[in-house]
């Protein structure tokens, strides 16, 4: 059965190009098109799409309002296909992800072109991934209560020195859930690699900063990670830490098809910090991070993989679990408390 796709796009030219690209795949069937969110909402129960592609800026009902309504009334995996990659607009895209959209595909600034092989393959691949994604009805947002994890007593230690986190598809919401639960006096530096389209990194940081108590910034070459700060690497560069504990960038080949790569970071963390490292692998497609998490585990560090039930895409965590690299497999709302118990064993008692 082909993947049924609904396109919501107000530009007639962009709509035609998206149609040509998707029609080129025998695995995809376009079952409807709409020019704004209101038309899209009417079509969903009629055409029953497996995946929805939507623009952000549209008349009458924009992509954000549309996504909110879809996830409340008729949940479907949503891919945002947008030209909004400038700093001011990128923040709005993450509002859309927070509302329930699953992934982002930026339109090239020169405009859509169905002769662009990279764009064509990227769009088709994302549609195929989203067709297998689990989505749920969105309820009015309440602060989730952390799950009380079962923590192995031998890990209750304050000897850890750094936390490294990797994520891909579904990662922005997972990162927000995890990082927003950490207190402002969290004692370790945190380094994150999130696979994301070029141009969206600063928007991701700004969006996360709204709910995180810890400062978030892009790592600078030659600096040392400081306790209580969250770092992301520059776009299109691998980030590592040398034996002196300083950030080092490199322009190496993509590892596991990604640059920056989670495995590249995790492997460097394993070499520099060994058993004092905590590695966390969140939702994502592919296997980036699995080998790096194994390196941390082999060095004696603590490793956590997000579980299947709360992962948008279980690819990366599953690969790490299959390698035997995950010390614990936890739902996303249990990871922050687990980390806190590892670095501050008295944490739950102190805050009650």
**What does R_g of the chain's alpha carbons equal in angstroms?**
20
* Distance between CA atoms of residues 170 and 168, nearest Å: 6
* Catalytic residue flag (residue 89): no
* Catalytic residue flag (residue 195): yes
Catalytic residue (choose from 10, 103, 256, 288)? 288
* Catalytic residue flag (residue 27): no
* Distance between CA atoms of residues 126 and 109, nearest Å: 19
* Distance between CA atoms of residues 250 and 154, nearest Å: 36
DSSP states along 213-272: SS-EEE--TTPPP-TT-EEEPPTTSEEEE-TTS-EEEE-PPPBTTBSS-HHHHHHHHHHH
Strand-strand pairing, 247-250 and 103-106? unpaired
Q: At what angle do helices 171-179 and 201-209 cross, to 10 degrees?
A: 30
* Distance between CA atoms of residues 263 and 164, nearest Å: 10
* Distance between CA atoms of residues 126 and 139, nearest Å: 26
* Distance between CA atoms of residues 68 and 50, nearest Å: 17
Catalytic residue (choose from 10, 25, 160, 195)? 195
* Distance between CA atoms of residues 8 and 234, nearest Å: 32
Catalytic residue (choose from 25, 82, 84, 168)? 168
Q: Which residues contact 50 (CB under 8 A, 6 or more apart)?
A: 3, 4, 5, 76, 77, 131
* Distance between CA atoms of residues 259 and 81, nearest Å: 22
* Distance between CA atoms of residues 219 and 225, nearest Å: 8
- Cross-strand partners of 232: 218
- Cross-strand partners of 306: 330
Q: Tell me the catalytic residues.
A: 168, 195, 288
């Amino acid at each position: 059965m082909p993947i049924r796709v609904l396109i919501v796009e107000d530009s007639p030219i962009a709509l035609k190009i998206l149609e040509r690209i998707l029609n080129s795949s025998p695995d995809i069937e376009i079952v409807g098109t709409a020019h704004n969110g209101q038309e899209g909402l009417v079509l969903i129960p009629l055409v029953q799409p497996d995946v929805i592609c939507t623009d952000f800026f549209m008349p009458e009902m924009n992509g954000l309002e549309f996504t909110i309504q879809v996830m409340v009334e008729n949940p479907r995996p949503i891919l945002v296909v947008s030209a909004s990659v400038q700093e001011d607009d990128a923040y709005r895209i993450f509002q859309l992800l927070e509302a329930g959209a699953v992934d982002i595909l930026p339109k090239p600034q020169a405009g859509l072109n169905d002769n662009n092989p990279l764009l064509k393959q990227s769009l088709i691949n994302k549609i195929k991934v989203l067709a297998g994604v689990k989505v749920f009805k969105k309820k009015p947002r309440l602060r989730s209560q952390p799950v009380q994890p079962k923590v192995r007593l031998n890990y209750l230690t304050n000897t850890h020195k750094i936390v490294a986190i990797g994520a891909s598809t579904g990662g922005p919401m997972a990162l927000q859930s995890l990082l927003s639960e950490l207190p402002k006096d969290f004692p370790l530096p945190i380094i994150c690699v999130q696979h994301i389209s070029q141009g969206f990194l600063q928007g991701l940081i700004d969006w996360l900063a709204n709910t995180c108590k810890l400062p978030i910034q892009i790592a600078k070459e030659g600096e040392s990670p400081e306790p209580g700060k969250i770092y992301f690497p520059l776009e299109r560069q691998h980030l590592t830490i040398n034996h002196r504990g300083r950030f080092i960038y490199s322009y190496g080949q993509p590892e596991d098809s990604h640059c920056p790569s989670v495995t590249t970071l995790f492997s460097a963390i394993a070499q520099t910090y060994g058993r004092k490292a905590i590695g966390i692998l969140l939702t994502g497609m592919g296997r980036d991070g699995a080998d790096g998490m194994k390196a941390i585990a082999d060095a004696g560090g603590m490793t956590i993989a997000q579980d299947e039930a709360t992962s948008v895409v279980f690819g990366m965590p599953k690969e790490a679990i299959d390698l035997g690299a995950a010390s614990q497999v936890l739902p996303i709302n249990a990871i922050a408390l687990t980390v806190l118990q590892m670095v501050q064993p008295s944490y739950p008692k102190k805050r009650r």
